[in-house]
Amino acid sequence: MATTDSLSAALDSVIDPISGKGLIASGRAAAPRLADGVASVVIDVTGLSADARERLGKAAEAAVGAVAGVQTTRVAMTAEKRGRKIIAVGSGKGGVGKSTLSANLAVALHRMGRKVGLVDADIYGPSQSRLLATEGMRPTAQGQKMDPVPSPHGIPMLSMGQLVKAGQAIAWRGPMAANALGQLIDAEWGDTEILILDLPPGTGDVQLTMVQIYKPAGAIIVSTPQDLSLMDATRAVDFFNQANVPLIGLIENMSGYACPHCGETSDPFGQGGAQAAAMTMTLPFLGRIPLDIGIRTASDAGRPPAAEDDDTVFAPLAQKIADWLNPKASPSF
């Protein structure tokens, strides 16, 4: 019977032409998965010619297909991209502010002079058109490639929501969603250097296919301070580790509530939970964002708070991400 170990062994019997090592040992192939007789594996084709990619793909398919118990083999190749870095924003569950944070981090990085684009890959609830005030704008296409929609806040963006009718529930499976996402990521991004990827909440197959194929340079995890949310965040950490995506750190959202009337701060969801959890997971803690009704109303109105001159919440987080991307330019945190 096939196990992931037997799949890995089969993949290691195929030699990577550049390093001379097996596909797993050389890091070319990510950890293979097996479910219901279907084996899936993603191969990183960076640095290989078109011929070599094809040969490697066929050899991997043959090796995995020969493992007892495998009925179907799916080999996906990562697209080779140079220069542009994808930063994935993920969460263990929905409603923790992942999209709000993605939009505001993009705007804050843009205000620091970085060229930033945003891809809304949240197939379950794409909300970036509202957050970035591009509702009703449809991307145009040049030949095979889509042109991102310009937002009034300087962030070109594309959303899964633009591929389907508004409000339509999207029940895509992993490979389908990854194909659609491919159109958004391989769009005409011009000189965009950082692409923020607002992932669907959760850690299932859809997310795994997306990150395996599009290889983010790093990932940020968003959590609220409650224990339950933190348990989900732990799953998100395991998920990115398993997918070999480096973790930039954890952001605690909806942390402490400043009463707009009396000014007193209370902690409806507890306090410091995410920071403590980050420490136990040896994960950098990037900071906390208060539960602030102003953030919700401005976001709903398509005015990201990070676009305001008096923003003191998102700019420091964006700075940490910029430092992480370019550790030589500034001290690490």
Residue closer to ligand ADP by CB (options 99, 212) is 99
Residue closer to ligand ADP by CB (options 91, 129) is 91
> CA quadruple 213, 100, 189, 192: dihedral positive or negative?
negative
Given 3-state DSSP classes, what are the helix, strand and coil percentages for the chain, each rounded to the nearest 5? 35, 25, 45
State the minimum distance, in angstroms, from the CB of residue 158 to ligand ADP. 17
Interface with ligand ADP, residue 229, by CB under 6 A: no
Amino acid letter for position 96 = V
What string marks each residue from 94 to 113 as x (binds ligand ADP by CB under 6 A) or -? xxxxxxx-------------
Amino acid letter for position 320 = K
Backbone angles phi, psi at 251, to 5 degrees: -115, 130
Residue closer to ligand ADP by CB (options 227, 300) is 300
Residue closer to ligand ADP by CB (options 74, 130) is 130
Interface with ligand ADP, residue 129, by CB under 6 A: no
Sole window of 13-21, 108-116, 183-191, 288-296 interacting with ligand ADP (rule: CB under 6 A): 288-296
Binds ligand ADP by CB under 6 A, chosen from 117, 253, 287, 304:
253
Neighbouring CB atoms inside 10 A of 84's CB total 15
Interface with ligand ADP, residue 127, by CB under 6 A: yes
Helix (H), strand (E) at residue 240:
helix 227-242
Interface with ligand ADP, residue 291, by CB under 6 A: yes
Give the span between the Cα atoms of 97 and 229, in whole angstroms: 12
Give the span between the Cα atoms of 299 and 322, in whole angstroms: 23
Total number of residues that touch ligand ADP (CB under 6 A): 19
Residue closer to ligand ADP by CB (options 40, 99) is 99
State the minimum distance, in angstroms, from the CB of residue 218 to ligand ADP. 19
Complete DSSP assignment for 283-299: --EEEEEEE-HHHHHHH
Contact 93, 201 (CB under 8 A): yes
Binds ligand ADP by CB under 6 A, chosen from 73, 151, 162, 299:
299
Contact 160, 126 (CB under 8 A): yes
* Chain contacts with ligand ADP (rule: CB under 6 A): 91, 94-100, 127, 201, 253-254, 289, 291-292, 295-296, 299-300
